Amino acid sequence: MKPKLRKQFITVIKILVSIGLISLVFSQLDWKGIQQMLRTANPFYFAVAVLFFLISQVISIFRFNIFIRKIGVRLTFEANSKLYLLGMFYNFFLPGGVGGDAYKAFALSKSHKKSLKKVGQVVFVERFLGIVAIGFMTCVLILFTKSQFSYYWNLGIGVAGFIATFIFLKLIIRFLETYKKRIYIGFFYSILIQTAQLICVFCLLKSFWIEDDYLIYLILFLISSVLSVISFAGLGIREAVFYYGAEWFQFNPDASATVALSFSLITAIVSFVGIIYLFQTIPLKKNN
């Protein structure tokens, strides 16, 4: 199968997965109960949730900057932010089109006369560090969760996660020795990004007056972040993980799904801002 055709096929599969999961979850929700939750939501906590989501995106912009500087690409914070928002718009609203990461790599390669392979490598490493950070944070949270199994079970998962994180970082450095220092810094930034998003989810839980085990919800969020690669823009997967995860742990599945929907809505609104730069030229060359 040709690369372009294969990409289109994968995109169609992701869209179908999202549509299927959203339809499945939405058909089981108590919409009257959700409307009541939305009416009685705490606006302060919801606003704080939005703030920390924005903080996570700002940190992502700084993380991207430390890698592109290594290959000689210099961007102002303003230009980097605009490019990032446009990439978010591509990822969330243009199925089958140019992916946000691919667009950023192409745009920077063209504007700075850099190898597309080299810029693409930077984008890949940045994203991969994000996944490693999610796995690491998941194992950390598992250490503090109450389990029906022995505490040593949680400890074993935590230790395995720490070892796996160390191995993955070493593997990246082995293939990209020149990025060694930046890989460690990028991983730290990735931890900060996930921490900010976890605070966002925690505030959404508080906004909807949910008092169940917060750590379980946070773990569900991290799991849904990893699984989002098999759906379009994470839609459907996050809602399904929260809904069925809540059923498994005997929480309120409607309340859980409302949190997931709220996070998706926040992501959609912020991503839509990027449409502004679809019709503007972003100055990607930094004036010295």
pLDDT at 287: 55
> What number is the average pLDDT over the span 185-197?
95
User: Is residue 51 very low, low, confident or very high in pLDDT (cuts 50, 70, 90)?
Assistant: very high
pTM of the model: 0.89
pLDDT tens-place string over residues 53-65: 999 999 999 999 9
d(CA 151, CA 138): 16
> What number is the average pLDDT over the span 156-167?
86
Those residues whose C-beta lies under 8 Å from the C-beta of residue 267, and which sit 6 or more positions away, are: 53, 92, 233, 234
Higher pLDDT, 224 or 285: 224
What does pLDDT average to over the chain? Answer: 86
Query: What angle separates helix 237-248 from helix 214-227, to the nearest 10 degrees?
Result: 140
Q: Any idea where the domains of the chain sit in the sequence? A: 3-278
Poorest-pLDDT segment among 2-11, 25-34, 78-87, 159-168: 2-11
Could you list the beta-strand ranges (E) of the chain. none
User: Is residue 137 very low, low, confident or very high in pLDDT (cuts 50, 70, 90)?
Assistant: very high
pLDDT at 23: 87
Q: How many residues does the chain have?
A: 288
Structure tokens at 15: 């869209």
Cα 179-66-54 angle, rounded to 5 deg = 135
